[in-house]
A and B are shown apart, each in its own frame.
Chain A
Amino acid sequence: ILNVEQSPQSLHVQEGDSTNFTCSFPSSNFYALHWYRWETAKSPEALFVMTLNGDEKKKGRISATLNTKEGYSYLYIKGSQPEDSATYLCAFFTNAGKSTFGDGTTLTVKP
């Protein structure tokens, strides 16, 4: 069993606040780390695919960093908007292609 942990479990912020959450994963057999955004009643959608130590990815107000040596990734949201409310999942992939998802961080942005 691969231990992938996300924190915090849930987060409530005001519109305009910046926020970040953490994904911790095993530092061995690393192949890739994905971030997904999952809105209620929809399917998960990929945000970022990260494969190299030190990777930084950005999409609009959302960015992510990766540290494979210590086994963590951060997801940042700058100037949160109500439409950012969702559950953010990270998924750890081994070099055998097996994926393990974290339990997610549920973000609620209040207008």
Chain B
Amino acid sequence: DAGVIQSPRHEVTEMGQEVTLRCKPISGHNSLFWYRQTMMRGLELLIYFNNNVPIDDSGMPEDRFSAKMPNASFSTLKIQPSEPRDSAVYFCASSLAGQSRSYEQYFGPGTRLTVT
């Protein structure tokens, strides 16, 4: 398996522009997580999906952020409009949650977003 795939790996955009980050989880995994990593706040959970349904989006910073998971193999995180303080590394992770009680997560390589 190729692991969790994220695109783009790097994104530089101007303030006010829309940014869309993409994630393809590991095939067969039923949970997907979006994280943001910053120096100030470390690794923060933004939102997670279970069986394509958003379960907890309390970590989404504000209405400018939205996430979708239209099917089991694809998710997007959108920022509109983007602001310089959104600059961070955004990780997507997937796991096979369920009877094993193991939420062991497999992380993608991350997308480094810079908003100027």
Chains A and B form a bound pair? yes
Least distance between A88 CB and chain B CB atoms (Å): 12
Interface of B is mostly: strand
Interface size on A, residues (CB 8 A): 23
Are B102 and A96 within 8 A (Cβ)?
no
Q: Which residue in chain A gives the minimum CB-CB distance to B89?
A: A43
Among A49, A91, A97, A104, contact of B55 (Cβ-Cβ < 8 Å): A97
Give chain B residues whose Cβ lies under 8 Å from the Cβ of A99. 33, 45, 48, 103, 105
When A and B form their complex, what is the total count of cross-chain residue pairs whose Cβ atoms lie within 8 Å?
Answer: 58
Flag A85-107 by CB within 8 Å of B: 1 or 0 each: 00001010100111111111000
Measured in the bound complex, the distance between the Cα atoms of B46 and A100 in whole Å is: 10
A45: CB under 8 A from chain B? yes
Set A45, A49, A102, A104: member contacting B103, Cβ < 8 A: A49
A73 to chain B, nearest CB (A): 15
Known: A49-B104, A93-B103. 8 other contacts (CB 8 A): A31-B103, A42-B109, A44-B107, A46-B105, A49-B102, A89-B43, A97-B31, A97-B48
18 A-B residue pairs with CB within 8 Å: A32-B102, A34-B103, A43-B108, A43-B109, A46-B104, A91-B105, A96-B55, A96-B56, A97-B48, A97-B50, A97-B56, A98-B56, A99-B48, A99-B103, A99-B105, A101-B35, A101-B44, A103-B42
Binding site for B on A (CB under 8 A): 31-32, 34, 36, 42-46, 49, 51, 89, 91, 93, 96-104
